[in-house]
Amino acid sequence: MLAADHKQRAAKIASALARAIPHPNIELTFTSPLELLVATILSAQCTDERVNKVTAALFKKYRDASGYAAAPPGALEEDIRPTGFYQNKAKALRAMAARLVERHGGRVPDTMEDLTALPGVGRKTANVILGGAFGKPGIVVDTHVIRVSGRLGLSRQGDPVKIENDLMALLPEREWTAFSQRLVLFGRYTCKAKIPLCGECPLFALCQWKDKEKFAKKA
């Protein structure tokens, strides 16, 4: 496919998604960059709904980075146990917070370089923070975006960084954050991994997935 044609398809997909999901809000509950960073770390292999239940109490107990850094490991583990992998997550939270205190005065930085230098923070998490907390353009590539971008033919890559680069090249920078968040929500509720809702999909005509007809008939 020619590059120009590929961009035109991407623009049509972006427009259709914008009509279907006009307000692509992050489903994690937060009131500050630190709260979003903590919630995003906890969301690994866990639903946003469960994370929000845990952070309702967690954010009242730990008010700043110093609080997380000084938290006794066992206590923090118990506080976040329902999110799963709680030992690793507690370790990541304490190390991340300690680095914030040591290098950033306890404040969450607003650059990709500084965010990814924090323990437990990769490009996906950093892009969530940049877009959700600071309003800076970024493409979040999670499991939903990987799946949906492949089915739609937006990227044939399997590596998240390569997918991120492919999507960035297709759309204007100002659209990156909203577009990727729409892909996340679209993958979560419509283009599901096991039983996608192809029969009611607003992108059905634009989709290049070979199995879409099969799942459309099951609807």
**Catalytic residue, candidates 5, 53, 114, 142:** 142
**Catalytic residue, candidates 12, 53, 79, 124:** 124
What own/partner pairs with CB < 8 Å and gap ≥ 24 does 83-86 have?
83/42, 83/43, 83/46, 83/50, 83/51, 83/54, 84/45, 84/46, 85/44, 85/45
C-alpha 176: how far from its chain's center? 12
- Classify residue 218 by burial, with Cβ atoms within 10 Å: 0-12, 13-18, 19+: exposed
- DSSP state, residue 43: T
User: Is 142 annotated as catalytic?
Assistant: yes
φ and ψ of 109, to 5 deg: -70, 165
Question: Strands, E, within the chain: which ranges?
Answer: none
With contact defined as beta carbons under 8 Å apart, do 45 and 27 qualify? no
C-alpha 214: how far from its chain's center? 29
User: Is 7 annotated as catalytic?
Assistant: no
Which residue, among 209, 196, 178, has the nearest Cα to 17 in the 3D structure? 178
With contact defined as beta carbons under 8 Å apart, do 101 and 90 qualify? no
Could you list the active site residues? Answer: 124, 142
